Amino acid sequence: MINIENLTKFYGNNRAVNNISFTINDNEILGFLGPNGAGKSTTMNMIAGYLPMSGGTVKICGTDISKDPVKAKRKIGYLPQDPPVYPDMRVKEYMAFCAGLKKIPRSQRKDEIQRVMELLKITDVKDKLIKNLSGGYKRRVGFAQAILGNPEFVILDEPTVGLDPNQVIEVRNIIRELKKSHSVIFSSHILSEVSEVCDRVVIINKGDIRAVDTIENLERSFGKSLVLHIKVKGSKTKSASIIEMTKGVKEITSIDEEEGGMFSFTTQLDGDAEEIRREMMSELIKNKVDIAEIYTEKPNLENVFIELINRPVRSNRMEELLNDVVPEEKEEK
Amino acid sequence: MFSIYKKELQSFFYTPFAYAITALFLLLFTYMFNVSIGNIEQSTFQFSFTEIFYNVIFYFIFLIPIMTMRTFADERKFGTEVLLMTSPISVLKIVLAKFLANITVFAFMIIGSGLFPIVTAMNGEVVVSQLVCAYIGFFCWGAMYIALGMLVSSFTESSILAGILGELAMFIFLFIDDFSQTEFIAQYPKLQSVMYAFAAQPRFAYFSQGFIRLSDLVFFISAIVVLLAWNFVSIERRRWNRG
């Protein structure tokens, strides 16, 4: 387990990371989400022991990385944003060098290098100079280096950048595979990727943590403010009054007139979306209003992300943050 | 530590680098050797290896920075510094491994020059004790310059700039003795004595005359230790100030 407590980083007077705390559990994939310049790479560099922190602690299985860096770093494999490869080395030389750096016993080196090269599918380029490889291959060589020696924690800073769609899928599968015996911290600004691969996400912006939770919980937290779209044919006033009178409809946010005497209504809901939809449909049918289309728009991670990063932060505590974001949930309880 | 040492050696010997710099060094040595033989005193048929070493030390200003300029600058440029810093190895060991690798290349360079005294000994007589002392002094000076070149390389990510600044720093170090003798500095005796204390040339003079003085050895060793410690501080400092 990695414990991060009150981690802070100043660059001169500029605060890049502000007093953040979270934990990384064993065998989980933790997504690190945030816009560019949010402090993701700085935080990852501090966890990996590259950058010293201005305040706070990072404990890798109880070992403080600033007090005993050598012991702590043994448990970490790190792929920074730019793969740390030597252009004048051949892939196999580079892997042998990294195996030595990570102090893998000599007797196991050959097999271990073979294993990671096969996993990352770089065996066919092992005799090539790294400078002659494509960007995608360089990234995979960097990735291979990070998982060499089976470290307990693998930190990947945007591992899919620069890869083609097939390689992206492969890398995602490798990350899922890694979960069986490693914990993975994985940063990205591609939301679909994070929601597909990660167990939990940390959303960060301007150095502050905006949320730490599972994707399901985050989506559910926003699920109360559902939006329902309905397209009907008939009287605008009649339809509007029926829609508005339906229990659970908070307000009609927009009405658009469309071709063929159709009207499109967008409504904000407050309650069980499925029940509201059923009730609204039966009321409209009863009043002989033709329904052309009806669907609810569930907020996805993208909405949660945009909402969270744009909100001013008042507190770093998770409970308070969620209450801040969804006060309705608290009222219900 | 050994893996970094090995990797550094590979970067020198798997490329033409080590061979090219050794060839350049030997070319200079051969030139100086020929000049010395050309100027040989007709009455005694004597020439001095010490003089050759003196002259070659001047060319150190160009050779050593070429060797050391990439040491840390390229690690920064290619982003591989992150790999070293996040590996379970201390910064001090990284500095030492790189220093030892540079020293190995330097040793490779000067071993070739051993051919000249051997050929001379086959056709005449060589004062071995003096020659060995000169080699020790020469090696100490080279090691000190390597530590200095590495330090300059840790300041920047441009290896060319590291090379030029290294040349400048080594130039100052080489001629600090002559600077301290100028009229201007002579006006300030305290400054003159401080400058003289840092001068390596008079210390090398003792080695070249066949003397190994403890104070001279301590000077070179402590200069190397201080410069390597400064290397360590410079790298750590940059990590703290990065942004």
Clarify whether residues A177 and A289 are in a common domain. Answer: no
* A134 found inside a domain: no
Mark yes or no for CB contact B87/A101 under 8 Å. yes
Q: Which pairs from A237-241 meet CB under 8 Å and 24+ separation? A: A238/A287, A238/A289, A239/A263, A239/A265, A239/A284, A239/A289, A240/A265
Clarify whether residues A156 and A293 are in a common domain. Answer: no
Nearest to B87 among A14, A51, A102 (CB): A102
Structural domain count of chain A: 2
Residue to substitute from B72, B87, B232, interface A, most A β-carbons within 10 A:
B87
CATH code: domain of residue A171: 3.40.50.300
> Quick check: B221 pLDDT over 80?
yes
Clarify whether residues A48 and A165 are in a common domain. Answer: yes
Whether residue A26 contacts residue A1, with contact meaning beta carbons closer than 8 Å, is answered with yes
> Quick check: B187 pLDDT over 70?
yes
Q: H or E stretch including B171? A: helix B159-180
The structure tokens 């309650």 sit at A271
What CA–CA distance (Å, rounded) separates B10 from B97? 13
CB-based contact (8 Å) between A109 and chain B?
A: no
Look at residue A328 in the predicted model and tell me its pLDDT.
47
Clarify whether residues A275 and A163 are in a common domain. Answer: no
Q: Which domain holds residue A162?
A: 2-75+152-220
Look at residue A16 in the predicted model and tell me its pLDDT.
83
Q: H or E stretch including A272? A: none
* A127 found inside a domain: no
Look at residue A11 in the predicted model and tell me its pLDDT.
82
* A22 found inside a domain: yes
Look at residue A332 in the predicted model and tell me its pLDDT.
44
* A213 found inside a domain: yes
CATH code: domain of residue A281: 3.30.70.260
pTM comes to 0.79
Clarify whether residues A203 and A260 are in a common domain. Answer: no
Q: Which of A180, A204, A220 marks a domain boundary?
A: A220
Q: Nearest residue of A to residue B81 by CA position?
A: A84
* A284 found inside a domain: yes
* A138 found inside a domain: no
User: B194-204 pLDDT, tens per residue?
Assistant: 887 778 888 88
User: A22-39 pLDDT, tens per residue?
Assistant: 888 888 888 888 888 888
Biggest CA–CA distance in chain B, Å, is 68
Residue scoring higher pLDDT (B105 or B177) = B105
Q: Count CB atoms within 10 A of the CB of residue A316.
A: 17
**Nearest residue to B145 (alpha-carbon basis) of B71, B238, B48, B208:** B71
Give B44: exposed, middle or buried? Use CB within 10 Å, 0-12, 13-18, 19+. Answer: exposed
**Nearest residue to A155 (alpha-carbon basis) of A16, A301, A24:** A24
The structure tokens 């502050």 sit at A208
pLDDT averaged over every residue in chain A:
83
Clarify whether residues A234 and A215 are in a common domain. Answer: no
Clarify whether residues A234 and A291 are in a common domain. Answer: yes
Mark yes or no for CB contact B86/A12 under 8 Å. no
**Across A28-37, A47-56, A173-182, A307-316, least confident range:** A307-316
Q: Do the strands A63-64 and A14-24 form a parallel or antiparallel pair, or are they unpaired?
A: unpaired
* Residues in chain A within 8 Å Cβ distance of B14: 88
Q: Do the strands A153-157 and A183-188 form a parallel or antiparallel pair, or are they unpaired?
A: parallel
Look at residue A18 in the predicted model and tell me its pLDDT.
84
Look at residue A41 in the predicted model and tell me its pLDDT.
87
Confidence category of residue B191, pLDDT binned at 50, 70, 90: confident
* A279 found inside a domain: yes
* Residues in chain B within 8 Å Cβ distance of A14: 243
Q: How many helices (H) and strands (E) does chain B have?
A: 13, 0
User: A60-104 pLDDT, tens per residue?
Assistant: 888 888 888 888 888 899 999 889 999 988 999 999 999 999 989
The secondary structure of A221-254 as a DSSP string is HHHTS-EEEEEEES-HHHHHHHHHHSTTEEEEEE
Q: What average pLDDT score do residues A180-193 get?
A: 83
Whether residue B105 contacts residue B21, with contact meaning beta carbons closer than 8 Å, is answered with yes
Look at residue A145 in the predicted model and tell me its pLDDT.
93
> Virtual CA dihedral for A190, A195, A199, A205, nearest 10 degrees?
50
What CA–CA distance (Å, rounded) separates B238 from B243? 9
